Structure 1
Amino acid sequence: MLNILLIEDEFIITKDLETQLSKNNYANIDSAKNYKNAIRLFTENDYDIIIADINLNDEKDGIEIISELAKFKIVPVVYLTAYSDSEIIKRAQKTLPFAYILKPYNNQQLKATIDLAILNSKKDSIFLEETLNENPKLDLLTKREKEILVVLATGKMSREIAEILTISVGTVEQHKKNIKKKLDLNTVGELVNFTMTTKLLKI
């Protein structure tokens, strides 16, 4: 069972998430509606993931709270937001969240995102050891191409991959084309499946 810290100040949304995510013993949810509650819960418990609303009626918004929590421990974050404002997203990106879920959210999509975030957090590093590679086709790839495959397999988009690896989006797209050609694969889904069947991911 996952332990999730939910930072949300809307009562109805909090109750809905608690109900949906606790079904079938999927997760245990601790809820905080403001900065003080979030800090207290976070320092007293261990969490697998944080789900945080960006817009809170509090002294600090969700982005500021996540920035403070990161000073204690790095935990994967999924942001909930009713807005896709570029400035808000730009601020949020500095905290390196796994994903953004726009309200109204889809419960299945949310669970899938949580699962991918947990998978992502279990990797020791996006940098790979050659000794872990078993598939001969991996010898065709450069270290950078392998890094891109790993991040791609966790559900990241090209823009997010570029930010994580500190390269341009254009460079990411070119690498993806090269990888597809080398592996004789055509879609992102095929690349993800290939990655999951190798030891590129340290899970």
Structure 2
Amino acid sequence: MKYLKRTLIFAFLLLIIFLTYVEFGGRYILSHDDRRVITVTIRSTPELPQNFTSFYSIIYKNSLTKNSWNYNLKVLLGQNNISECPCREMAFRIFPSMDIKNKNSLDYFLVTRYLEQNYNQTDCLNFNFSNFDFLENRKGIEKVSKSLFDKDIKDLTSLEIAEVIALYENPVKNNRIRYPDRALARTKYFHELYLKNLNKK
């Protein structure tokens, strides 16, 4: 019993050390230059208008208030969706360019937690949509908004935002020219989900 107690205490201490590393390890594995690039990139990214962020937060409930721990819990419960955690998605996009030796999945999570501790999910959402390649020479949401609707983002209707979200989900298969039926179906799905969740408020 004495040895079992010591073993449990030791295991508990190891768990605490591991969780502490997971929470704060990002600042140590990221170089000064990488941290500076992240800061400059986020600060220089234009903010998405309220109509868009509201739509996003309604179809992906709590996505702008929860973090990657919540996402991983959903993974364990079989309810995961990468679009529900903007900072996790941003980490996925910037991770290949980071100066980290022997990159692995734990490092990826450390970068995600670093983003969440120093910025917020809305900052990451701004980055994701401003830098996403919608294909056909349309990098960033501003270009795709002009290309599809000849409008600024702030003037998009909820149905038009739904189409942008669908294109963001898959810019090839949800392209209205290449696959009009699928693109329309996904647009309707996101718009109906928006209306459904909006009515629950």
TM-score (norm 1): 0.28
Structure number with the higher strand fraction is 1
Structure with the larger RCO, 1 or 2 (CA within 8 Å, 6+ apart): 2
Structure number with the higher helix fraction is 2
